Structure 1
Amino acid sequence: KAAAFRSADRNEEALQEYFCYLWLVVQTFFSLSLYFFFFSLLALFPDNASSCKTLPTFSGERQVPSQLLDSADFECSLCMRLFYEPVTTPCGHTFCLKCLERCLDHNPNCPLCKENLSEYLATRAYNKTLLMEELLQRYFCDELAERQKVHEEEMKELSNLNQEVPIFVCTMAFPTIPCPLHVFEPRYRLMIRRSMETGTKQFGMCIADELKGFADHGCMLEVRDVKFFPDGRSVVDTIGIACFKVLSHGQRDGYHTAKIEYLEDKKVEGEELTELLKLHDSVYDQALGWFTSLKDDMKNQIISHFGQLPVKDSDPQGNPNGPAWCWWLLAVLPLENKAQLTILAMNALKDRLVAIRRVLIFVTRKRQESANLQCIS
């Protein structure tokens, strides 16, 4: 490319290309020199050297004077700690896997030389740098064990959903109802990745609140599948599993967190149960009538997104959060988020059924009024 610029008398651009090429050569040479240097240490020192660290080999044991080794030379330039799961970029720079992923969440360029890593990000070829990992295991086994211990403690803390639940502030979600998400913000990329790495595959969903950051009630979501795009964005397939109440608001690494308390419907017995069953059947029939009366295109849109109206439960109190059809109806009814949140926060099935019945009466009346106006016009 530089030769082409020079032949076109574009000397300044040709010079820039030469410098870029020279810089890449220097980087590559430096990286290779560093690796060969450590391997050459094996042959430079005799087996009986004092104050040495032992290197096991197939032919016996070699020793390297410990004063020549410094763990600071094996620190990640991003976290300033010993490399853990080291990966090397195409431009020749090595980082901890987790550190590099967090940087690429914000910018597809190398954190050091700013070379574009879009293709590297697209393939997600974050393979460990085996040579670096082997050097760490051989020469800094104690330091590496301590580093691994710290990492495991961090993962244990992140996976303890009893103490701190990551919160995705976006939309209303309900138990048993699918909630597909398009994740593009760096903080939520990190949050989703951590939920997968820790194995919990769960996080809370709340709507925004101007004063507190997010609402006092929400729904726990469980990740069923994640599909990544080449630029780092992802589509996350989740489903609601439980309602919760927020006890305290917090933050961690840019995203919201909360200490929560799971909600369960209060169970009733005797005459109250008999009345509840009658109310349950009545509201379900009313909901089925409303859905059946919708136009075909509207019904098809709802079914494609939320699925069919769930069947009526024989035991409405069988699920801690009540019948699935209630949540399905709450998700498809034309309600504002604040109204949905009020019903979500209820912990009595009777109250929820009464609220849904009122909404059904309202929307049915509105549609009849609209139809009458069209007939008059």
Structure 2
Amino acid sequence: MSLLQRQGAPSAPAANIPQDRSTPSTTTAITASMDAAPKQNTSTVDPHRDARAIVRLVQCSQCSLPLRTPLTLPCGNSLCRICLPELHIRTGVTYPMTANRQEGFTCPFKECGRDHSLGDCSQDVTLAKVMDRVSIEVAHSRPLTSHTPTLLDERPRWRNVVDSSKEPKHPASRILNGGRLVATYTMAEIGELKYDSEVAYQTMSPTGDSYEDLDFTMLAHLKEATKAELDCQVCYALMLDPLTTTCGHTFCRKCVARVLDHSTMCPICRRDLPMPPGVRNVPGNKRLSELLTGLCPDLVAARAEAAAQEEVLMLGEENVPLFICTLAYPSMPTFLHIFEPRYRLMIRRAIENGDGKFGMLMYNRRAAPQGNLGSVQFLQFGTLVHINSIEIMPDGRSLIETRGISRFRVKDWDMLDGYIVGNIERLDDISLAEEEQVEATETTDPVPAQHDLISQIDHMSTQELLKIGTDFITRMRAASAPWLHEGVLASYGPPPDDPALFPYWFASIIPIGEEEKYRLIPTTSVRERLKVTARWVRRIEAQRCLDENITAFRTSKLHFHADPEWKRKDLKTLLEEIESVLGDTGAASPTKWFGVGGEDEENGSEIA
């Protein structure tokens, strides 16, 4: 069943309206004069029966007029620019921190109702072009169909009236020309057809002609006129699951994902796209999806089938070679020395396959259960990498440089010629709208009366979390930290100011345990990853401060300095004594820095 049929468009006139009688004699000359394609009905769409549903596809649900300067919102709904609600200044949001995201509005669509950023609502270029083509085709047909009268009676859906205290507007009734399709569009254009209303039709032809041929001819013209606009400009095929970017251009969802694997810019206008690379959680363009499935469901079905066959021919996400070695991160380089014969074979096959991709996983040193996989030799979350360069030694060994593409979860695995291959599932971040909502909620929640430096992190803004990391790097470079020497910076670049990239860059260079770094991989929020790195900084600084205090404690002239018993005291007791000695000097509590006796004791000890 097509979308038009699901929308409940009337397939017959109302009981008190005579049924149309179609005779081709009246419309034959008009159809020929329109220079149209012959009558086509290769899909389930009947433009005569479904005229009301077809016109609804191009009406704004807010003002009921045909869409004018359409905007597509982050939730996937579309409306006229003039129908945009009143703007307000957004608070509690610092990521992404751009000027055009400071203003926002409450979504007028009942199924959403969220707060949207104005910066995410550029004009929908594709939908605007489609509306232009529709308007031109309708205008072109009017002079040629000036003597084809049809009576249109609006039939409001009274159950959808929100305020029952208001007197509903009297239903409109008009005699218009052009067949049902053009006449219904004209009725909407003059503002006399509400978005939710249905229409009853009655031919006014003296011969009883229903002008059915005009509707099929017009639909054929509309399909031909809009065909080029509904093709994706990446794959040059009919759009499949259309997704509109923040700059207003629309592509297939999978095409956007492939583009973002290698670039953060729109393929058409080259504007930066603040979108998560996977875009799996980003809502699609609902209006364009409805237009595609409503006007040409047969073509959409054929396109989906062809895309499915293409996926089978590609490597895809099944039998991906997996290298059990170390951690890799999206957008970051990883340098590998390949010497085992099985992995030499794996790398050669990855290169010969044409895509040069394989998955990087870390050893499961503690044999911890990995979800449905059980206790396997690797951790279930990893990073898909691409081979950027390879240097093959005379003895067969190779040095390769890879760059992370995306994160994944292993769903199933098997062995192939000594190395592991797996069925993987891509792991994507939550949408920017969800990121902003989480930040606004957490930064406005009251801070507990009893809190320490670690617990404060949950209530900081995303930009403040980023600043903790960047300030720490600045201090460490000033102190000539050995892990920040020029060779490291030459390989990984300077610290990025993009909150989405900084945690991966930081984890690539900081000398802490890999099991701690692994926490970044399964995390699906930029903000949560920045919290992880901020806690690393707090604990490292606490450790350094603790070391300094212990040194001062050992060299002090306090009465128990000469007591050999202090060397046999456990760490917690020692810290408590140091704290009592510090007294009211203003120094923070060592037990709070280090997490001794608290819930962070295990992690703090691992990092130390």
CA offset at residue 168 of structure 1?
0.5
Structure 1 residue 332 displacement after superposition:
2.3
- Residues 274-283 or 334-343, more deviating: 274-283
The CA distance in 2 between the partners of 1:165 and 1:372, in whole Å, is: 51
Aligned residues: 213
Structure 1 residues 230 and 363, CA gap change in structure 2 (3 angstroms): same
Provide the secondary structure at the position in 2 that maps to 1:309.
coil
Cα distance change, pair 180–253 in 1 and its aligned pair in 2 (3 A): same
- 2:526 aligns with 349
Q: Distance in 2 between matches of 1:158 and 1:335?
A: 41
TM normalised by structure 2 equals 0.33
Which structure 2 residues correspond to residues 287-306 of structure 1 after superposition, within 5 A? 287-294=469-476, 295-298=479-482, 299-300=484-485, 302-306=488-492
Distance 2:349 2:376 in 1: 24
How do residues 255-334 of structure 1 correspond to structure 2 at under 5 angstroms?
A: 255-267=419-431, 268=434, 271-274=437-440, 279-294=461-476, 295-298=479-482, 299-300=484-485, 302-311=488-497, 313=498, 323-334=500-511
Other-structure match for 2:396: 232
Tell me if the contact between 2:332 and 2:404 (Cα under 8 Å) persists in the aligned partners: yes
Give unpaired runs (5+ residues) of structure 1: 1-155, 317-322
Q: 3-state SS of the aligned residue for 1:218?
A: strand
- Paired with 1:182 and 1:269, the residues of 2 have a C-alpha distance of 38
State the 1:206 CA deviation: 0.3
Deviation at 1:158, TM superposition (A): 9.7
CA contact (8 A) 2:439 2:461 kept: no
Q: Could you tell me whether the CA contact under 8 Å between 1:168 and 1:204 is conserved in 2?
A: yes
User: 8 Å contact 1:212–1:249 — kept in the other structure?
Assistant: no
2:331 aligns to what?
176
> Post-superposition shift, 1:375?
5.1
Kindly tell me: are residues 194 and 370 of structure 1, through their superposed partners in 2, closer, same or farther at Cα, counting changes over 3 Å? same
Q: Is contact 1:174-1:327 (8 Å) kept? A: yes
CA deviations on 1:55-98 (whole Å, 9 max, x unpaired) are xxxxxxxxxxxxxxxxxxxxxxxxxxxxxxxxxxxxxxxxxxxx
Q: Which has the higher helix share?
A: 1
Deviations 1:112-155 (A, max 9, x none): xxxxxxxxxxxxxxxxxxxxxxxxxxxxxxxxxxxxxxxxxxxx
Q: 1:166 to 1:276 in 2, by over 3 A?
A: farther
- State the AA in 1 paired with 2:428: E
2:545 to 346, 349, 368: 368
Match of 1:242 in 2: 406
Code of the residue aligned with 1:223 in structure 2: it is I
Q: Cα deviations across residues 276-306 of structure 1 (Å, max 9, x unaligned)? A: 8962211111111111111325221532442
The one-letter code matched in structure 1 to 2:350 is S
**1:329 aligned counterpart, secondary structure:** helix
What is the SS of the residue equivalent to 1:208?
A: coil
Task: Write the mapping of 1:22-101 to structure 2, written as runs, cut at 5 A.
Answer: none
CA contact 1:283–1:357 (8 Å) conserved in 2? yes
Contact kept? 1:205, 1:221, Cα under 8 Å: yes
Cα shift at 1:363? 0.8
Q: 1:80-159 to 2 correspondence within 5 Å?
A: none
Structure 2 gap segments, 5+ residues each: 1-310, 368-374, 444-459, 556-608
Q: Which amino acid in 2 is paired with 1:336?
A: G
CA displacement, residues 35-57 of structure 1 (integer Å, 9 cap, x when unaligned)? xxxxxxxxxxxxxxxxxxxxxxx
Secondary structure, aligned partner of 2:520: helix
Q: Could you tell me how far apart the structure 2 residues matched to 1:251 and 1:176 are?
A: 28
- 8 Å CA contact 2:413–2:423 kept in 1: the answer is yes
1:141-189 CA distances to partner (integer Å, 9 max, x unpaired)?
xxxxxxxxxxxxxxx9996132111001100111111100000000110
SS at match of 2:422: strand
Contact 1:220 1:242 in 2 (8 A): yes
The answer on whether the counterparts of 1:279 and 1:353 sit within 8 Å (CA) in structure 2 is no
Separation of aligned partners in 2, 1:181 and 1:159: 26
3-state SS of paired residue (2:406): strand
Q: Which has the greater radius of gyration?
A: 2
- Paired residue secondary structure (1:214): coil
Q: Distance in 2 between matches of 1:270 and 1:219?
A: 25
Deviation digits for residues 8-30 of structure 1 (CA, Å, limit 9, x no counterpart):
xxxxxxxxxxxxxxxxxxxxxxx
How far apart, CA to CA, are the structure 1 residues paired with 2:551 and 2:489? Answer: 27
* Helix, strand or coil at the partner of 2:409: strand
Which residue identity does 2:329 align to in structure 1?
F
Name the structure 2 match of 1:319: none
Change (3 A) 1:258 1:368: same
Q: Which residue in 1 is equivalent to 2:348?
A: 193
Paired residue secondary structure (2:464): helix
Structure 1 residue 271: Cα displacement: 4.4
- 1:174 to 1:270, Cα distance in 2 relative to 1, 3 A: closer
Give the TM-score normalised by structure 1. 0.52
- Whole-angstrom distance in 2 between the partners of 1:237 and 1:330: 18
Q: What code does the residue aligned with 2:384 have?
A: M
Q: Deviations over 1:302-359 (max 9, x none)?
A: 3244221112x3xx5xxxxxx1111111222333222222221111223222222211
Q: Aligned partners of 1:290 and 1:270: how far apart in 2?
A: 25
Instruction: Call closer, same or farther: CA 1:158–1:336 in 2, change over 3 Å.
Output: farther
Letter in 2 for 1:258: G
Matches within 5 A, 1:11-22: none
CA-CA distance at 1:274 after TM superposition: 4.2
Q: Structure 1 residues 161, 251: closer, same or farther in 2, change over 3 A?
A: farther
Q: Counterpart amino acid of 1:326? A: P
- What SS is found at the alignment partner of 2:524? coil
The answer to whether the Cα contact below 8 Å between 1:159 and 1:199 also exists between their aligned partners in 2 is: no
Give secondary structure in 1 for the equivalent of 2:334: coil
Q: Does 1:223 align with 2:387?
A: yes
Change (3 A) 1:159 1:227: farther
Q: Find the residue that maps to 2:331 and give its secondary structure.
A: coil
Q: Secondary structure at the match of 2:541?
A: helix
The one of 344, 362, 373 aligned to 1:207 = 362
Measured against aligned partners, the alpha-carbon deviations of 1:172-225 in whole angstroms (never above 9, x if no partner) come to 111111100000000110010011111111100001124412110000111000
Task: From the superposition, tell whether residues 230 and 270 of structure 1 become closer, same or farther in structure 2 (CA, over 3 Å).
Answer: closer
